[in-house]
């Protein structure tokens, strides 16, 4: 059985990550791939704590908690899925910590270090959206991360990673179906051949 691949979708809050990640998974399943949508922070253990609206911690502690949640995510979801040949599509992954906690701490190298034990994605996409546009899309109550000044710093961190080749950047301001089409066009070269089948 072929090993699966890990695909990650990144971007600031309001960039359309969840919409695109789920659209990709639907396309993969329709086209015969064993595929799974997942997201961070997770819904178990530390992830539930991080997802609480009233949760507060220092940026350093928060970075450590996100790293711990990610390691558990890899152990429970990502690695077992990859071994079974799944295309795992994660709505946020390690680049989110590098961008968000790295921007808040001013130390992206340390954030990379505490995440060095998790597998790198096979391909990582960045949906680039200007922060004011992204914030205008968010209709629910804003989270602690959804502040203009912070999102501008986070976006700059993401753009630096795209410039260095870590992320494949797409224009997230276009209509969702157009973004999906471009994502799929850029994803196809990474997909297993022949099509991976799940259990």
Task: Specify if 76 maps to a domain.
Answer: yes
Q: Return the structure tokens found at 38.
A: 């997942």
Q: Is the pLDDT of residue 194 over 60?
A: no
Q: Return the structure tokens found at 98.
A: 């590098």
Task: Specify if 97 maps to a domain.
Answer: yes
Task: Specify if 198 maps to a domain.
Answer: no
The pLDDT value recorded for residue 122 is 98
What is the per-residue pLDDT across 84-143, written as a single tens digit (0 to 9) for each? 999 999 999 999 999 999 999 999 999 999 999 999 999 999 999 998 887 777 766 556
Burial pattern 68-99, b for ≥16 Cβ within 10 A else e, equals: ebbeebbeebbbebbebbbbbbbbbbbbbbbb
The pLDDT value recorded for residue 58 is 92
CATH code of the domain containing 51: 3.40.50.300
Task: Specify if 40 maps to a domain.
Answer: yes
Q: Return the structure tokens found at 174.
A: 């276009």
Number of domains in the chain: 1
* Domain region containing 99: 5-190
Instruction: Tokens 């906690």: give the residue.
Output: 101
The pLDDT value recorded for residue 149 is 84
């Amino acid at each position: 059985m072929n090993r699966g691949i890990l695909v990650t979708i990144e971007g600031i809050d309001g960039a359309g990550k969840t919409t695109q990640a789920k659209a990709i998974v639907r396309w993969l399943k329709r086209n015969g791939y064993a595929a799974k949508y997942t997201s961070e922070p997770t819904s178990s253990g530390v992830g539930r704590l991080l997802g609480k609206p009233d949760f507060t911690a220092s940026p350093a502690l928060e970075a450590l908690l996100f790293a711990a949640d990610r390691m558990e995510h890899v152990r429970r979801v990502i690695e077992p899925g990859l071994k079974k040949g799944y295309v795992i599509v994660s709505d946020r992954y390690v680049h989110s910590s590098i961008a968000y906690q790295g921007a808040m701490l001013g130390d992206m190298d340390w954030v990379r270090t505490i995440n060095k034990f998790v597998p790198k994605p096979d391909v990582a996409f960045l949906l680039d959206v200007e922060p004011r546009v992204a914030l205008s899309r968010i209709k629910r109550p804003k989270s602690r991360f959804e502040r203009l000044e912070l999102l501008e710093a986070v976006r700059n961190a993401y753009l630096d990673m795209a410039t260095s080749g870590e992320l494949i950047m797409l224009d997230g301001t276009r209509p969702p179906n157009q973004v999906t089409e471009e994502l799929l066009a850029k994803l196809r070269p990474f997909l297993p051949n022949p099509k991976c089948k799940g259990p």
